[in-house]
């Protein structure tokens, strides 16, 4: 909760500062390194070092959110066509879910293997494997794939980077809320969407399964795997739905599906019988599909609605709205549980948040109108990018070179002159 709130408050400022420098790649690389080190150092977990590992986990969680902001800011560079963007985001999420599922499967299989590892040894193993995966994928991506980006804004003479960042953040927030209706209501909807706190929602689910449905470790592991691997067809559905009904409607439908499935869990899973556990397995797959559908649609929608040229800053704003009250669902769940209210009602409260988020998206208006409103910024962004990255200078150099290679005499006046 503390990490989420802190990240939510600071990410917009980080984005504003990054947009005034050409250090976006450096920021992404450093945040990836911090994540890997924070996870890798947790292999020293023990009864004596648990607090240090807790601190590492908090640092790594903050760095991971910063890393997401930096990487998501690269999305508009891929394409400004939302159908192509839907393809990219769904493919990225499918790859992510596949690796997460494989990693979780490996850890679960080893933990129940004849090696007879203790819970502590399993936790250390999980941290080591996770760090190794991070080194491979983060290292390859930031060394060979991501490119340096020119600064999107220039500091005024004598201006301070940090004070300028605060001022720019304030100006951008006012400008977005005044001029971009769809983006404004989309960000407000994120206050109640589980994007912030997918981890928070999973924490509620694990509590519900452990204490209400009375599932053991192996049964919860099966539920986790069902959810993870069901994310993959969900991401594929996102790709198709963004094309068929546009990203805004796709996001709305995904939220409604998640809210409906969650309500069904609260309404039909009434105890700890074999029937209840079988229902949980079925619903876990549906929840996985909803998660896998919702997040690619949300990211495609964010790119389509944002004015181009301030990607990191606006991604920071989106992170703010997604993170700042991500703790609220688990707070409501805990308060209800501590006051003797059934966990079923606490779980059902998640559907309330999702429905509220859906209702706010209805205020966005038509998707086509929202895209048309920011369409002019795409051309301005591309032209500005070419100028700042030296593409125009390169084109001019090529033209001059061609001019020098022309045969002598071709510039002589003609008879008509």
DSSP labels, 3-48: HHHHHHHHHHHHHHHHHTSS-HHHHHHHHHHHHHHHHHGGGG-STT
Q: Are 94 and 235 in contact (CB under 8 A)?
A: yes
Q: Are 195 and 298 in contact (CB under 8 A)?
A: yes
Q: Mean pLDDT throughout 243-271?
A: 94
Q: Is residue 184 scored above 60 in pLDDT?
A: yes
Q: Mean pLDDT throughout 308-333?
A: 78
pLDDT in tens, 59-102: 998 888 888 888 887 887 787 788 888 899 899 889 988 998 89
- Under the banding of pLDDT at 50, 70 and 90, the label for residue 33 is very high
Structure confidence at residue 394 (pLDDT): 37
- Which residues, including other chains, have CB under 8 Å from residue 137's CB and lie 6 or more apart? 99
Structure confidence at residue 417 (pLDDT): 41
Residue 208 and residue 212: Cα distance in Å, rounded? Answer: 5
Structure tokens at 176: 């977005």
Structure confidence at residue 397 (pLDDT): 35
Beta strands in 241-377 (DSSP E): none
Q: Are 83 and 113 in contact (CB under 8 A)?
A: no
- Under the banding of pLDDT at 50, 70 and 90, the label for residue 316 is confident
115/340: higher pLDDT: 340
């Amino acid at each position: 909760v503390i990490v989420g709130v802190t990240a939510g408050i600071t990410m917009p400022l980080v984005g504003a500062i990054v947009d005034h420098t050409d250090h976006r790649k450096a920021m992404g690389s450093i945040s990836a390194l911090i994540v890997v080190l924070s996870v890798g150092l947790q292999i020293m977990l023990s009864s004596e070092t648990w607090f240090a590992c807790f601190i590492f986990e908090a640092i790594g969680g903050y760095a991971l959110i910063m890393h997401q902001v930096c990487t998501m800011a690269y999305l508009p560079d891929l394409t400004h066509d939302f159908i192509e963007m839907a393809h990219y985001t769904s493919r990225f999420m499918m790859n992510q879910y596949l690796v997460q599922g494989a990693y979780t499967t490996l850890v679960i299989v080893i933990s129940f293997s004849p090696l007879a590892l203790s819970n502590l040894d399993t936790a250390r193993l999980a941290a080591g494997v996770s760090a190794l995966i991070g080194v491979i994928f983060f290292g390859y991506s930031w060394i060979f794939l991501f490119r340096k980006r020119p600064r999107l804004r220039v500091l005024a003479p004598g201006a301070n980077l940090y004070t300028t960042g605060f001022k720019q953040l304030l100006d951008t927030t006012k400008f977005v809320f005044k001029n971009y209706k769809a983006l404004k209501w989309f960000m407000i909807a994120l206050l109640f969407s589980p994007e912030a706190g997918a981890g928070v929602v999973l924490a509620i689910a694990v509590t519900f399964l452990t204490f209400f449905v009375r599932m053991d470790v192996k049964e919860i592991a099966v539920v986790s795997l069902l959810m993870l691997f069901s994310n993959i067809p969900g991401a594929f559905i996102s790709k198709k739905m963004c094309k068929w009904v546009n990203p805004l409607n796709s996001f709305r439908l995904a939220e409604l599906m998640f809210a409906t499935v969650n309500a069904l869990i609260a309404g039909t899973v009434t105890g700890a019988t074999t029937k209840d556990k079988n229902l949980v397995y079925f619903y876990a797959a549906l929840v996985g599909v909803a998660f896998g559908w919702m997040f690619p649609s949300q990211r495609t929608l964010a790119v389509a609605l944002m004015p181009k040229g301030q990607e990191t800053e606006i991604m920071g704003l989106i992170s703010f709205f997604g993170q700042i009250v991500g703790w609220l669902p688990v707070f409501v769940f805990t308060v209800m549980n501590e006051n003797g209210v059934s966990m079923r009602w606490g779980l059902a409260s998640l559907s309330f948040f999702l429905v509220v988020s859906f209702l706010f998206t209805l205020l966005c208006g038509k998707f086509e109108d929202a895209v048309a409103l920011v369409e002019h910024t795409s051309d301005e962004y591309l032209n500005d990018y070419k100028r700042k990255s030296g593409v125009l200078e390169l084109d001019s150099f090529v033209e001059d070179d061609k001019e020098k290679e022309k045969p002598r005499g071709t510039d002589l006046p003609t008879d008509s002159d």
